Chains A and B, each alone.
Chain A
Amino acid sequence: MRTTFVDTTAALLDDDPRTALVLADISASAFAPAARRHPDRVLNVGIREQLMIGVAGGLALTGLRPIVHSYATFLVDRAYEQIKLDLGHQGVGAVLVSIGGSYDGSREGRTHMSPGDVALFDSLGEGWRVHAPGHPDEVPPLLRAAARDDDRVYLRLTERRNGAGYPDADRLRVLRRGGEQAPLVVAVGPTLDATLAATRGRDVTVAYTHTPRPFDTAGLRALAGTEVVLVEPYLAGTSAAVIGRALADRPHRLLALGVGDTELRRYGDPEDHERWHGLDAAGLRRSLDAFLA
């Protein structure tokens, strides 16, 4: 996904003089050719994440469209107040593109993880659009669309990927249809393949989206019966409030799965963390069976 992001951003810098890129050393070498072609619009501020967002805010105030990139924990957690004030409060936007969100950096440890990033954007309440693609093919159209407007956009990239991409899944896309009133399982981004494997042979409807904000609440209401299961690749329960509001007028039960909120203090591979958080197929199946029993 990072390669796709680099290629698409480089093309945007070539094609649209409004596009600018702000880096804080992360991925700077990958963007070196683009920086040579556009030295005024590819800006590496060094290891200075507060400045990275401040610069993006300033660029946007002059009418440019900044793309800002780093690890999620440095881009979002560390620079949270800059995101709130240098973008939202100033009434300007940017495209923030992160890598390593939940546990891609499992071998680096907690310092390189940010499972709470999407929840942080929810706390800002300033119309942030959030994309969490599950396949590299979904990245270019999302990034190109984001570069065209002036909205506040968060694009959360990961090394985890599904077997197939669904670029048009900004709204809930049904990938498996169960019987009438069958439980609805919503998979966000890279959780799709494990969700499909976990629900094989079960009478459930599985819907997919790479865009949790704004959440497709109309699609949700059209598909949901009484039981709803949400599988998200970031902090468990991040979208529970959105779904609760969308279904407030209906009796329903919600199981919200995702990355646990306890620091594991373990290294290992992303696959290990997926298992420890119950987000592999076996773990999801256990949770689903307990919920639906």
Chain B
Amino acid sequence: MATITSTGGAQVLAPLLRRITGDEKHGPSAHSTIDVLWVLYDRVLRVTPQTVDAPDRDRFLLSKGHGPAAYYAVLAAKGFIPEGWLDDLAGPGSRLGHHPDRMLVPGVEIGTGSLGHGLGLGVGTALGLRAQGLTDPRVYVLTGDAELDEGSNHEAIAYAGATGLDTLTAVVVDNDSASHGWPGGIAARFTVNGWTADTVDGRDHAALYAALTNHHPGRPHVVVARVESKG
């Protein structure tokens, strides 16, 4: 498996994660989303600290909102936020909380925490860009497999598929944490509605990159990134 430790990402991210969590014991792989986030910000998303307000930037929407240490570490590594912000997570004067707030953190597209809001906002963002002739930027929405329990996701999945919203990519980080599971697989929930889907090893950067850029005209795309079971 081509893990993050072989890419150079770990060397950058490990000290930043330690600053956020104070956890000296666990490496970056303790965070289920870290590899997806690193590949997105390192190789896929066309957005920089200088273009966080540019109309034609790519959008990344962290729907999950939970456990955002990996997200903050990547934003700091890429210069969106000062590293010093990492030292006081959720403190009284901190701009970084246990769930991110777009009004407080540069580069954060949506404030989340309550599950099941990102895909709807992502669909609206993709539609808003299209209505303004901005067909180049892509909208990536990251959810978790347990987050898919929320019915609001399925409103968005059905509608995006039916209307062929092809600038939208959903990323489901699957650590097998949904209480009742997804018999038949997560990708099937999307493909039955007309999406294209790739299910890949969520620690394999080459596979993630290929899947995250494997969208096709006329259909939204989903990447199911499988990582270790939450247990």
Please list the residues of chain A having a beta carbon within 8 angstroms of any beta carbon in chain B: 17, 20, 40-41, 43, 45-46, 48, 50-51, 53-64, 66, 81-82, 85-86, 89-91
**Residue of B114, B127, B162 ringed by the most chain A CB atoms within 10 A:** B127
Query: Are B124 and A55 in contact (CB-based, < 8 A)?
Result: yes
Query: Are A51 and B102 in contact (CB-based, < 8 A)?
Result: no
Closest to B61 in A: A58
| In the complex, number of A-B residue pairs with CB atoms less than 8 Å apart | 100
- A47 to B110 Cα, complex, angstroms: 25
Query: Are B114 and A54 in contact (CB-based, < 8 A)?
Result: no
Closest to A79 in B: B152
Query: Are A90 and B110 in contact (CB-based, < 8 A)?
Result: yes
Identify which of residues 65-118 in chain B touch chain A, using a CB-to-CB cut-off of 8 Å.
101-103, 109-111, 114, 116-117
Please list the residues of chain B having a beta carbon within 8 angstroms of any beta carbon in chain A: 55, 101-103, 109-111, 114, 116-117, 119-132, 134, 151-152, 155-156, 158-159, 162
Query: Are B152 and A58 in contact (CB-based, < 8 A)?
Result: no
Contacts of B159 in A (CB 8 A): 45-46, 48, 51
Query: Are B124 and A59 in contact (CB-based, < 8 A)?
Result: yes
Q: What is the minimal beta-carbon distance from B19 to any residue of chain A, in angstroms?
A: 27
B120 partner, pick from A20, A57, A63, beta carbons under 8 A: A57
Query: Are A54 and B128 in contact (CB-based, < 8 A)?
Result: no
A82 partner, pick from B101, B102, B120, beta carbons under 8 A: B120
Query: Are B55 and A85 in contact (CB-based, < 8 A)?
Result: no
- With A45-B155, A54-B121, A63-B132 in contact, do A90 and B114 touch (Cβ < 8 Å)? no
Q: What is the minimal beta-carbon distance from B47 to any residue of chain A, in angstroms?
A: 14
Query: Are B117 and A85 in contact (CB-based, < 8 A)?
Result: yes
Known: A55-B127, A91-B102. 4 other contacts (CB 8 A): A20-B128, A55-B123, A62-B131, A64-B131
Closest to B113 in A: A85
Contacts of B103 in A (CB 8 A): 90-91
- A41 to B130 Cα, complex, angstroms: 9
